[in-house]
Structure 1
């Protein structure tokens, strides 16, 4: 949303209005109940104030720590390679220091793959995340074709 706001040269009021419009479910209910406390009558509504309140509710240190732990413990288990990669990408933003080095990111991804896939990748000594992901997809496809992938998955 920030990129859109910058492109459109939105005012703080515009930003808050557009953000309110995007809120759904619990977030929408939270904002309805909280906006008067965040911006008491007579107080200027600022985008920074909205962001600070929103992050305090939905991006607390505790929540970020939980996501980082989830990333550190992430393994493919019964997920497909594509599902594992999507979860890996989603959670990696909570642990940027663990994936800022390309080789560390590739190793972390490799180490989380199921054993039957990882065993075939290790001898290739790949260091590139994209290559590991692509090869893992190919290996998974072959395992599923010959039926050994089904058995390996049932172990998890």
Structure 2
């Protein structure tokens, strides 16, 4: 076999290089086609992954309020009321109601309720909050629910002696004349301030009816309402009917003793003036011994709320040393 010439070898090498370049071009085109075919799928998968991640963040944040700064700006623009800790039980209740109204309007995440509300604590209330944060930690306090914060604040700013006075007031709370609106407003306030006295809806209905004037009370009782809304609606209609027929006018006493208030004293009604008795109840003319008094204690036998009263001077039950008549007063 004759040896190849130099020109032939050069030509063969050139053809080989051309073939290799052609194969590379075909391979690049094939890869490009494959990439173009799968790119829409990849883009869709990426978009779905991002959406799922955002939804997870929103769920963890309690409803989609990812931007806490913007949510707080909206909250602040509503001019929420500040609480100083010196307003008393009614002031605390008013602050709760005002804060809840704003939180519901802006529809912020439940996880933000406590943080936003705490930012409006001032003075004594702010000092109390800072102490809680120092003792329990910022994360723990911010993790409280709104209802848990309310319970803590009620324990702090409604101490037991104050609560006992409110319980006595609730026990004696009654409608004066035909003034149902004033009676109902204070009734709802007391339901929030001393909820232990009306733990169920049935107890609320019972207590509401108990304080109505006799004419209204008897008719409402006969219908046996099961909800507070039903009892209040019926009472309103009955009072309006009594006023509209001219039998009574707003603020006028009803025919029963005390003019619709078991514990009121109205001029010109011929009743003897009622006097406050030692157990913080009220004595009426011809009183019913079981009406208008706290329940009888099974331990000491006296009518009272809360702990038994034990005199450290005479060692007897039923009164405190401050009011003891058998020895020198203390304090």
Q: TM-score range by the shorter chain?
A: 0.5 to 0.7
Question: Which residue does the alignment assign to 1:130?
Answer: 229
Match of 2:179 among 80, 91, 108: 80
Name the count of aligned residue pairs. Answer: 134
Other structure's SS at 1:148 match:
coil
Cα deviation per residue 1:40-73 (whole Å; 9 max; x = unaligned)? xxxxx81527x989965x4221111111111111
Bigger relative contact order (CA 8 A; separation at least 6): 1
Bigger fraction of residues in helix: 1
CA RMSD for the aligned pairs? 3.7
Cα deviation per residue 1:53-106 (whole Å; 9 max; x = unaligned)? 9965x4221111111111111111236222211111101123322212221211
Alignment of 1:7-156 (within 5 A): 7=112, 10=115, 15=118, 18-20=120-122, 31=124, 46=130, 48=132, 58-78=157-177, 80-150=179-249, 153-155=252-254, 156=259
Cα deviation per residue 1:89-124 (whole Å; 9 max; x = unaligned)? 101123322212221211111011111211221221
Other structure's SS at 2:121 match:
helix
Other structure's SS at 1:91 match:
helix
TM-score calculated relative to the size of structure 2 = 0.34
Contact 1:81–1:133 (8 Å) recurs in 2: no
Residues 8 and 135 of structure 1: CA distance in aligned 2, closer, same or farther (over 3 Å): closer
Q: Which runs of 5+ in 1 are unaligned?
A: 21-27, 40-44
Which of the pair has more CA radius of gyration?
2
